[in-house]
Amino acid sequence: MVILKTVPEIAKMRAAGRISQRALQLAGKAVEPGVSTYELDTLIRQYIEKQGATPSFLGYGGFPASACISVNHVVIHGIPSKAQILQNGDIVSIDVGACLEGYHGDNAWTFACGDVSKEAQALMDATREALFEGIAQAVAGNRIGDIGHAVQQYAEARSYSVVRDFVGHGVGAKLHEDPSVPNYGIPGHGLRLRPGMVIAIEPMINQGTPRVRVLKDKWTTVTADGLLSAHFEHTIAITSNGPVILTSPD
């Protein structure tokens, strides 16, 4: 069931989203060779808690950290570790959620560690732009399929593939709510978008095959062919005046 949010509820989500976004950017600035993913996770947790919020991911379904940090061929749900030290040329996807006054803000970004290859940079650029192509379709009266089609068309036109096993989602008092928001779709199909809906649009785009596999820890999800993957996400409110990004820094 899709839960429409009131104006005051969306304002609370905006506050949570701002904290989540600033935590994400703080971690992104710390991405450099020699830093562990555990250190990044610690920065995120400390910042979120200092703002009077709680990390949305910590303990969620048993997840053991405050952020998902996924390096290179890890698509999503990478578990931070003291043993995982970032290397020059890595691409680092960081997914952060914050909960404030009972409402969540969820966002992700992929950062370059040092000097990355042209191929890695192109993948990151395309994934980021695919996100904004999807956001542009998050208009009242459009349908979920319009968002997914925009993301898919942009990525596949550049010879990348769209992960299908994991999708975006509604956000609210729960981190994951209805509806599901795939990064692929048919224009004019799917649930109609209405003012008051809040969704996370999050393209996960691979260099090679769209197939993924989950490792034995039951969280870490990697590309089936070992090629790179990038992940970008914003939480979006559907309004009568167009999409509003709740996880922007301003």
82-98 per-position pLDDT tens digit: 999 999 999 999 999 99
Task: Tell me what the mean pLDDT of segment 4-31 comes to.
Answer: 98
Half-sphere exposure of 46 (CA within 13 A, CB side): 8
Model confidence band, residue 43 (pLDDT cutoffs 50, 70, 90): very high
Give the model's pLDDT for residue 250: 73
Q: CA–CA separation, 221 vs 104, rounded Å?
A: 23
188: left (phi over 0), alpha (psi -120 to 50) or beta: left
For the chain, give the mean pLDDT.
98
Model confidence band, residue 144 (pLDDT cutoffs 50, 70, 90): very high
pTM, two decimal places: 0.97
List the structure tokens of 9.
């509820």
Nearest to 81 by CA among 97, 99, 68: 68
